[in-house]
Amino acid sequence: MKTRILTGLLMALAMGLAWQSANGQHHLKHPSGITCEPGFKIVEEIVMQDVERYVVKLVPVIPKKWVYDWVDDPFAIQDSKHGQCSQAYGPYCRKQLVKMQVDNPCLATTKAVTEKIVERVPVTVYRQVPIGSPNIETIPTKPKSQPK
């Protein structure tokens, strides 16, 4: 008996909330309830607005390590004597020690990074305009570039 009464009350509450939210959406979609001063009218305008949202991305992180290696370095020796044609001797080969940075894929991991995404969405705006004034047009402008 108690469960039937409780179920009935919960159903009535749910229907009341659904009816209330449906009425709220109706007023938002059709703003007929907007009032303005005498001598003015309401003008509906659609403008573009920047909306920011953040998303999470997984980025691979590959650590680097320093390694040393020998590299062949060929060279030639130029012999020039005073008043004679110069000659070159070689090629000779020598080893040179080189320090390099390489990826270490064995220790690769991932890292979570947040990224800001800016989207332009249309938004409806209502303005109050004098009745006798000509139509005022808005001129679209280029958005300023944002530093990254």
**φ, ψ dihedrals at 98, nearest 5°:** -125, 135
pLDDT at 138 over 60: no
Q: What local confidence, expressed as pLDDT, does residue 26 receive?
A: 37
For 118, the token pair is: 């800016």
Strands 87-103 and 64-79: antiparallel
**Cα distance between residue 126 and residue 136, in whole Å:** 13
pLDDT at 19 over 70: no
My answer on whether omega of the bond before 147 falls inside 30° of 0, hence cis, is no
Predicted confidence (pLDDT) per residue in 93-124, tens digit: 999 999 999 999 889 999 999 999 999 999 88
Instruction: Please report, for the chain, the start and end positions of each structural domain, with discontinuous segments joined by +.
Output: 1-30, 37-61+114-148, 64-103
